[in-house]
Chain A
Amino acid sequence: MKVLNTRLITPRLCALLLLIALPLVSVLGLMTGPVFIPVADILSITLSGDGGNSQEKLIIEIIRLPRVVLSLLVGALLATCGALLQGLFRNPLADPALIGVSAGASVGASVVIVFGSMFTAGGLLLGLSAISVGAFAGAIITSVIIFRLATGPQGTSVATMLLAGIAISALAGAATNTLSYLADNDMLRRISLWQMGNLQGASWDRVGLCALTATFLAVLIPREAGALNAMLLGESEARHLGVNVEWLKRRLIIYSALGVAISVAVAGVIAFVGLMVPHVIRLLVGPDHRALLPLSALAGAILLVSADALARVVIAPAELPVGVVTALLGAPFFLWLLVVQRRRI
């Protein structure tokens, strides 16, 4: 009998490749932009704190470094949450939009953009603009509604959650469209730009907020890897393997809602990272969550930093929204992998 190896590479090799790529793309991210900064200057500025000229130093410290770090964190959060949700829904095509977070965030952000002048003085909260706070609130409110709809006396039904997610997302979409219709030209542009995702608003405050969330999740999520693997067999099978499925589902929903809501609040809706990254990693190393979760985080970080770097140079001095770039970069790569995988089977 011919032994088919269904994996392209081992998790160890994958981790090694990603750990090599991570610093490379980060430096690339620091180099690119309207002002090109050579590698030598970047190394001396970031490592020793001096060197380069004062303008370069300012650009690195105030603009590019927080932006690169923020992209790393947001990419890692989105990809990890995508992996969690795909495991929870036992569907490799699930993505964070399923639990209504993105749609809810859009409503929240749109409400603030359209009616913002009425109830905000334009102040900042933890470095977040009123739009970000609106997006975060919208995201959390919709995911709570969807979770409540899907939870009955028999426990949380993942199937109901999927349907409720689609319905609530449609409702939220209608609300966003209505708000867009009411908006004037400037508001409309801000809404649509926000929906394409961008990392221009990066600041050290936002980095701190994301880093806090990421640390919190990095401590808690790896503990669920074994239970998530058992969940892939089915809910009752997982229960027979000693997993308290009901509480596991709740924790996973809370973790992913929190992770995605924070990402959306600081960077807008960035499509595709949460769907594609875990999927690609799964094709490479298999579905074991003990490897999948950390590798997805690394790959998500790399993807978003590269996408953001590209977004700044493609039509320089103007910028493309990063969500457009992730889709442009990711979709063909994803398709290529699917075709390769199909040939192997």
Chain B
Amino acid sequence: MTDRASPQTSAVAALVLAWAIPGAGHAYAGRWGKAALFFGCIVGLLAAGMLLGRGTVLAPHELWYAAQLGALGPTIALTPVSQYVAVREGIDYADRWREMGVLYTAVAGFLNILVMMDAYIKMAYPHERGRKEKA
């Protein structure tokens, strides 16, 4: 047994961290700039989506929620807020602003899946980095 975690273990840790908090996988790998960029873009999209949909966009009974869960941490954290607002004020499914808000949050989830994959691949296969980035 070694003192350091194997690249595969570290890669899985980066994947799980990136799922929990957007950009955390890259922060774990010491790439703080990219971590901040990913966090800003993904959490920014989620926040913008919540504002556009007046807080009712995270509805677990909708299929979109599966995509929104791509950004697990913020989505789980904001779901009770969204549910509270939905119960209190109701959901207007025909509202085009809400539609746009749902789209924003779903895209944020999909983008976080991409970021998770990137964090995993760059930890698991560090020697592949240079070749890919020059392409």
Q: Say whether A associates with B.
A: no
Chain A residues near B (Cβ < 8 Å): none
